[in-house]
Amino acid sequence: MVKQVKDLEERAARVRSELAADLAGIRQNAEREVEEARKLASEERRAAEVEIASARQAANRELDQAREQLSEQRWTAQRRIEEMHEEVEADRAQLNEARAQLQRDQDVLEALLQERVRGFGLISEAWADYEQASAETLALALEEKSRPAPFAAAGVRSIGQRAAALRRELKRAEWVLRLYEWHFPWLTELRDMEEESSFVGGDDEVVEATDDGQPPDPAQRWLSEEEFKALPEVERNQRALDRYLRSRKTPWQLGRDYERYIGYLREREGARVTYQGIFAGLEDLGRDLLAARDGSIEVIQCKRWARHKTIHEKHVFQLFGTVVAARIEYPEHEVTGTFATTTTLSERAHEFARQLEIRVQEAFPLDDYPRIKCNVGRGGERIYHLPFDQQYDNTLITPERGETWVATTAEAEALGFRRAWRWRPAAAQAVGA
């Protein structure tokens, strides 16, 4: 029994010794792991501190850059504002100078006009004196010849007095006409009144009506009677068109053709064009064309002048005046002005056009283009119009409806259109409206 107790005590002592050793090992391991954890935490803390410091430095650098950019932008904006103020002041000074120059020009013009008014009477009287002096010279010669003719001399003096009065009035009329044309330049384009009045009134010279009372074909004006009767209709119409295009035209007809060309270009761009200058005549107010589209109206002045001529500022003034009138008449539209011409504008006219916001198309010649208008009527009837047909300028082309322009009558016929030449009252509404 004692031995067993002793064995148990020895075994217990060994277990206690082993447990103590294990506990010491566990404590050592735990201490190492704690130390390693402390080291790792310290390293991570140092790394975090470094990373935070680096991020803080980067943020400070970005902030400094942003501040520099903001400062630079603020400086640039301030400089731009100062430049804009300088530009505004320069524009204001330029405008004031332009106004002053305009006033000086107006004063000079008034002075010149007054001078011309004063001097013109002297010129007309000088012409009258010349007529009377010529008559007096002839009358004296009749009285002093070998066989005097006192009655003839008296007649010559009487005629001389009447000639002097007529010469005086003629010179005054010429001066007044030139003065009016200077102030209203569009008057110079209306000297061919017989041609313009006949076209506007629908009285172009044509052959007499046919025996059955039907209106004559305008193509007969460009064909002989034999050609008109013998040629097939398509060839007959084409020959009339060719001769019409090659024919010698008056200045007014040349201007009308140029208006048609500019109008064609606008119609091709989708505008609805009113040929004001062709139909309104003296009442066109300087508006040759009105091109309307998308809530806007373009007032176009057309000048087909020789290249050696120059457009001056008075023509720009006229167009600007009619643009202002159109803005009053059409307040719901945006109205602009365009000056289209075959020649060029003077430098001063260019400057006025820029200041008045007038678009300029200069050195813009009349080019070849398809002259035949193919129109689809309200009832679906497909007809084409030649330039000498009465409804030609009233006819508007709408491609969406199958309408088009062509160059030859054969093209028109191939597309299923027939010739429309019957004359209608000049007040008829636009075809294809």
Domain boundaries, the chain: 95-190, 249-419
**What's residue 323's pLDDT?**
93
**What's residue 340's pLDDT?**
95
Q: What mean pLDDT comes out for the span 93-103? A: 79
Radius of gyration of the chain (CA): 48
Confidence grade of residue 35 (pLDDT, cut at 50, 70, 90): confident
Helix axes 347-355, 313-329, angle to 10 degrees: 20
Range name among 77-81, 179-183, 227-231, 280-284 with the lowest pLDDT average: 280-284
**What's residue 207's pLDDT?**
43
Helix (H, G, I), strand (E, B) or coil at 88: helix
C-alpha dihedral (69, 71, 73, 77), degrees to nearest 10: 180
Distance in Å from the first CA to the final CA of the chain: 138
Confidence grade of residue 279 (pLDDT, cut at 50, 70, 90): low
Q: How far is CA 271 from the centre of its chain?
A: 12
**Which pTM was predicted?**
0.54
Confidence grade of residue 22 (pLDDT, cut at 50, 70, 90): confident
In 3D space, the residue among 124, 123, 104 whose CA is nearest the CA of residue 112 turns out to be 104
Rounded to an integer, what distance in angstroms lies between the CA atom of residue 169 and that of residue 421?
Answer: 48
Q: Which residue is it, tokens 């140029």?
A: 258
AA letter at 373: K
**What's residue 271's pLDDT?**
92
pLDDT at residue 285 above 70?
Answer: no
pLDDT at residue 117 above 60?
Answer: no
pLDDT at residue 141 above 70?
Answer: yes
Tell me the residue ranges of DSSP E strands in 152-311. Answer: 272-274, 289-293, 296-303, 310-311
Fold of 249-419: Trna Endonuclease; Chain: A, domain 1 (3.40.1350)
Any residues with CB less than 8 A from the CB of 245 and at least 6 apart, and which? Answer: 371, 387
Confidence grade of residue 121 (pLDDT, cut at 50, 70, 90): low
Rounded to an integer, what distance in angstroms lies between the CA atom of residue 274 and that of residue 288?
Answer: 8
CB atoms within 10 A of CB 193: 11
Contact 304, 343 (CB under 8 A): no
Confidence grade of residue 236 (pLDDT, cut at 50, 70, 90): very high
369-398 residue pLDDT tens: 999 999 998 888 999 999 999 889 888 898
154-205 residue pLDDT tens: 888 888 888 888 888 887 777 777 766 666 665 665 554 444 444 344 444 4
Rounded to an integer, what distance in angstroms lies between the CA atom of residue 291 and that of residue 333?
Answer: 12
Confidence grade of residue 422 (pLDDT, cut at 50, 70, 90): low
CB atoms within 10 A of CB 190: 15
Rounded to an integer, what distance in angstroms lies between the CA atom of residue 218 and that of residue 249?
Answer: 17
AA letter at 34: V
C-alpha neighbours within 13 Å on the C-beta side of residue 176: 8
Q: Give the pair of three-digit tokens for residue 310.
A: 């120059």
Helix axes 193-200, 251-268, angle to 10 degrees: 50
